Amino acid sequence: MAETLVVIPACNEEQRVGAVIASLRAQVPDVDVFVVDDGSGDGTAAAASAVGARVARHPFNLGYGAALQTAYKYALRHGYRFCLQMDADGQHQPSEARKLLELVWRGECDVAIGSRFLEGGGGYPVPFLRRAGIQLFSVLAQWLARERLTDVTSGFIACNRRVIRLFASDLFPADFPDADVRLMLQKAGLRVRETPVVMTAGPPNKSMHGGIMTAWYVVKMLLSMMVVWSTRYPRPPEEDRP
Amino acid sequence: MTPTQRVFSIVVATLFFLFVLWAIRRRTVEIQYAFLWLTVAAGIALLAFFDDLLQAVTLFIGAKVPTTTLFLFGILVLVLINVQFSMRISHLHGRLRSLAQEHALLSEELERERTARAPAADQAK
């Protein structure tokens, strides 16, 4: 068994998940891949197992955050020391995976987060409204966390076991993990490092913050950040080995 | 309170009471919720029998007419019940999520064990 688990939440990604995993394996061969099929109606699970990934299937759709948490619970139970979390839709480039992983492998930080907005990152034009939303939460999270954060909505993250333990716990905001998670990491005393990555635009109409949902998302996130901000988090152990 | 009003209130409360009892018998509502609604029915009946009570409360909170008191407390009770239901639903939602996650992880493990135990049978298929 490898020490690192790549976790990929997927819902109706039959067309893309196979290519993402194959490309990832070519880039980082020494990892296990775990896909959480979040109640897909298509052949997502079969497509993922066909390329050698382990697959857990939610009996019904539980949402992105819950799918992530399922994967972190798996990682914790099976004694993985590191995790890389990426999307199944091809938005996150497998070629950038190693860059994130190496930061946590070397112990330079507890969490490495891929940012589109750091110098050297980017990739595709983010629509104005969404960019404004991301900016709003970046500013807010930076102010609350007193830390420089540029891409608080990024779901391209590498982390070590201290973080896996936190994400697998009930403290994880499984409703919609985003800027609130960044705040939680800081409050839990974990070392966060952003690193520039290039992302490609996800398939149209698949973005979770598009259209009329934006306003609802903003309200939910503000409340969630308030909850995180007022919560006390236990200090994770210095050395967390399985 | 006019006799008509009183009779009407008592009839409404009684019908509501019977309806809740019927729901308990059919097991469509749990006892804890049924108790809540039986209490509400009893409250309506109580106010119908002793309308002095309503007058006293109206005077106490400074309302001009008893209808205000009725609506105020009626709405307040409904709001509180709803908030309580939201809490309960959220709690159940959290449990449901954990349960579904656990189910997914255990199924995966079971599947893996099965294929590990019977690789030959798998290949024979």
**Predicted local confidence at residue A150, as pLDDT:** 81
Give the residue among A69, A93, A95 at the shortest CA–CA distance from A83. Answer: A69
Residue B107 has its nearest CB partner, among A57, A73, A77, at: A57
Span B67-118, pLDDT tens digits: 899 899 999 999 999 999 999 999 999 999 999 999 999 999 999 899 888 7
CA pair distance A97, A201, nearest whole angstrom = 17
**Predicted local confidence at residue B124, as pLDDT:** 53
Distance from CA of A67 to the nearest CA of B (A): 8
Reported as type and span, the H/E element at residue A37 is strand A32-37
Average per-residue pLDDT for chain A: 87
**Is residue A43 within 8 Å of residue B90, measured between CB atoms?**
no
The number of CA neighbours under 13 Å toward the Cβ of A126 is: 21
* Closest chain A CA to residue B109: A56
CA pair distance B70, B83, nearest whole angstrom = 20
Q: What is the pTM of this model?
A: 0.84
**Predicted local confidence at residue A204, as pLDDT:** 58
Q: What is the ipTM of this complex?
A: 0.85
Question: Mapping DSSP to helix (H, G, I), strand (E, B) and coil, where does residue A39 land?
Answer: coil
DSSP 8-state code for residue A110: S
Span A127-141, pLDDT tens digits: 777 777 777 888 887
Distance from CA of A198 to the nearest CA of B (A): 32
Residues 6+ away with beta carbon under 8 Å from B78: none
Give the residue among A1, A7, A81, A95 at the shortest CA–CA distance from A48. Answer: A7
Is pLDDT above 80 for A146? no
Total count of residues recorded for chain A: 242
Distance from CA of B121 to the nearest CA of A (A): 19
Span A32-77, pLDDT tens digits: 999 999 999 999 999 999 999 999 999 999 999 999 999 999 999 9
- Tell me if A56 and B105 make a contact (CB, 8 A cut-off): yes
Contacts of A73 in chain B (CB under 8 A): 101, 105
> Taking the CB of residue B97, how many other CB atoms lie within 10 A of it?
19
- Tell me if A58 and B107 make a contact (CB, 8 A cut-off): no
Give the residue among A118, A119, A114 at the shortest CA–CA distance from A101. Answer: A114
Span A103-130, pLDDT tens digits: 999 999 999 999 888 877 776 667 777 7
- Tell me if A56 and B107 make a contact (CB, 8 A cut-off): yes
**Predicted local confidence at residue A105, as pLDDT:** 95
- Tell me if A60 and B100 make a contact (CB, 8 A cut-off): yes
Residue A208: pLDDT band (50, 70, 90) is low
